[in-house]
Amino acid sequence: ILGISKGFDFFYFVQQWPGSYCDSDKFSCCYPPTGKPAADFSIHGLWPNYINGSYPQNCDPNNPFNESEISDLISNMRMNWPSLACPSSSGESFWSHEWEKHGTCSESVLDQHSYFETALSLRQQTKILQSLTSAGINPDGGSYGMENIKDAIKEGTGYTPWIECNEDSSGNSQLYQVYLCLDSSGSNLIECPVFPQGECGSEIEFPTF
Ligand code: 5GP
Ligand code: 5GP
Ligand code: 5GP
């Protein structure tokens, strides 16, 4: 049954491992002015997507990022959604990019405050690092089985994740981002209707941070 169109089908909720952003061959990283973030997964974004794998972007130039709408969330965002890009920033430019590119495409469901609040609450709900360490998978620079990583996250969160890898400066494939899926109402985690693409390898590194 076709419901009222929301302009997208589901969300990817994407978290990044800071160690893999910082030691990759593609990026260098810079810590925020408040210092090195916690050695934990942090939010990259909440991305509206279509079931066919494509996605809308930059949907509403008339609804720019407005920090005053989320002033009550800022301290939580500094902790759980830091920006590691260079030059060093306290996060506003990253949040603004995420809202304008992705968030505006789900504005019929989540206004700006709900969008950021939803991402923060998913971060609390999913506890990726805890799921991994409970299974003996630690950010110690060691190499771990892709299936073991996925099983541990599924055990911890209840849902099958997608793992995105990048390469460290020596060319080793490493755990970079973890994707989970959220229904189009923004309320419930779901099994992903479609997974992203990209190669990892069956053994991947989990670098320190
Ligand atoms: P990359 O080229 O690093 O994979 O992705 C660049 C950017 O494209 C991401 O940060 C994100 O904004 C967007 N992107 C990449 N893959 C997807 C996807 O599967 N769904 C959505 N909604 N956005 C994506
Ligand atoms: P995307 O378009 O892939 O959603 O977002 C990636 C953009 O956000 C890039 O322009 C990147 O430079 C910027 N960015 C700022 N801070 C971070 C960060 O900590 N991690 C990632 N992956 N991108 C960041
Ligand atoms: P299968 O779905 O049969 O386990 O895997 C099919 C292919 O997708 C294999 O090459 C496997 O390594 C890859 N694959 C499975 N899960 C993931 C994942 O979460 N991320 C990435 N990048 N590749 C995966």
Q: Look at residue 4 and tell me if it is in a domain.
A: no
Q: Look at residue 61 and tell me if it is in a domain.
A: yes
Segments forming the whole domain that contains residue 31? 10-127+159-203
Q: Look at residue 54 and tell me if it is in a domain.
A: yes
Angle formed at CA 160 by CA 40 and CA 20, multiple of 5 degrees: 30
Mean pLDDT in residue range 31-55: 97
Q: Residue 181: which of 198, 202, 196 has the closest Cα? A: 196
Higher pLDDT, 28 or 105: 105
Q: Look at residue 143 and tell me if it is in a domain.
A: no
Q: Look at residue 49 and tell me if it is in a domain.
A: yes
Is 97 a known active-site residue?
no
- Distance from the CA of 57 to the center of ligand 1, in angstroms? 10
Higher pLDDT, 31 or 5: 31
Query: At 79, which CATH number?
Result: 3.90.730.10
For residue 87, is the peptide bond before it cis, meaning its omega torsion is within 30 degrees of 0? yes
> Is pLDDT at 21 greater than 80 in this prediction?
yes
Q: Look at residue 81 and tell me if it is in a domain.
A: yes
Check pocket membership of 85 for ligand 2, CB cut-off 6 A: yes
> Is pLDDT at 190 greater than 70 in this prediction?
yes
Starting from the CA of residue 45, give the closest ligand: 2
110-119 pLDDT tens trace: 999 999 999 9
Check pocket membership of 27 for ligand 1, CB cut-off 6 A: no
Q: Look at residue 5 and tell me if it is in a domain.
A: no
pLDDT band at 4 (very low <50, low <70, confident <90, very high): low
How many domains are contained in the chain?
1
Mean pLDDT in residue range 125-135: 98
In ligand 3, the atom with minimum distance to the C-alpha of 161 is 19
- Residue 99 tokens read as 């809202």
Return the pLDDT at 3.
54
| C-beta of residue 163 within 8 angstroms of C-beta of residue 23 | no
| Interface TM-score (ipTM) > 0.90 | yes
